[in-house]
Amino acid sequence: MAEKKRIVLDVLRGETVFPPPIWMMRQAGRYLPEYRETRKRAGGFLDLCYNPDFAVEVTLQPIKRFGFDASILFSDILVVPHALGRDLRFEEGRGPVMTPIAMEDIATLSTEAFHEVLAPVYETVRRLRKELPEETTLLGFCGAPWTVATYMIAGHGTPDQAPARLFGYRHPEAMRDLLDLLARQSADYLIRQIDAGADAVQIFDSWSGVLDEACFQDYCMRPVAEIVRRVRAVHPDTPIIGFPKGAGSLYDGYRAATGITALGIDWSVPLSQAKTLQGHGAVQGNLDPLRLVAGGKALDEGVDAILRELGSGPLVFNLGHGITPEAPIAHVERMVARVREATT
């Protein structure tokens, strides 16, 4: 029997497939009643991330419901600093909370138990690869060093990441030390995920859009390039998706500077710019998540525009950021059907 193709992998490597494959960032999440039920049984959010039984269950839920072409590991970007010895908790209505890291704390971060803490995540990946349909691409991921550092420095999410930006201006050497350590450990984390069965990986830089050009190059592109270099040294053929959300015009040089395989683009990227970026390789995105909440004409027009402008090149259809809890399931079904039933 012929092996079933994983078309997301084909597209990430530069092939054009139409209709394009589709998945959603945060596709295992609070908009699904089955997710809310599992999370209730799991207890805390970290219990959900670190328990392979629960993590596998919620990762598979959107695949069973919608049949997406890719499945992304259920975890959180902040398990990396947690595995380095930082405290971490998730508060309802507030999100992740950590003790803010001081300059002198950076040297005390310990890698000794790093993979031991993350062992349940690797087990989740191993189980997922066995349980997913053969044709479904399994994605691993990590947070980019800059985005992870913003939470470590502020201790929580902030609107413009002013604490981390000030830290970088006042303590440039300490910031570089922190980003370099996070790059090394994140690369090791991705390598272990690939070892366990991930077909491709994504690096989420959710806060790259708050930086000026010089800091973007130093805080975003340089550490991600190091992650890519380290992962490629072990797994040269594994596609790597980079997602520097909010990068604007700085998207243009990101792929070349970092060496990523495919470029995730947010909804603010004009489709004309996205088309130019697609000329250098696969792009992923970029439907506004609020069009999915709105549904109807707004959703249809958003889907159609992306397919019209980007469907003739390598495209993984996705949102321009994660699905929101308010998105109706019927609208997700409508989006998936509109993409899959599209004709050239």
Active site residues: 26, 30, 39, 76, 151
Tokens 């949102």 belong to 319
Q: How far is CA 51 from CA 62, 70, 117, 123, in A?
A: 18, 21, 12, 9
Structure tokens belonging to residue 179: 């980003």
Separation of alpha carbons 189 and 193, rounded Å:
6
Q: How many residues does the chain have?
A: 344
Separation of alpha carbons 229 and 342, rounded Å:
38
Separation of alpha carbons 59 and 73, rounded Å:
6
Cβ-count burial 86-123 (b if 16+ within 10 Å, e if not) = bebebeeeeebebeebeeeebeebeeeebeebbebbbb
Q: Say if residue 286 is preceded by a cis peptide, omega within 30 of 0.
A: yes
Residue 184 backbone dihedrals phi, psi, to 5 degrees: -60, -50
Q: Do 238 and 203 form a contact (C-beta atoms < 8 A)?
A: no
Q: Do 334 and 293 form a contact (C-beta atoms < 8 A)?
A: no
Q: How far is CA 66 from CA 135, 245, 306, in A?
A: 14, 25, 20
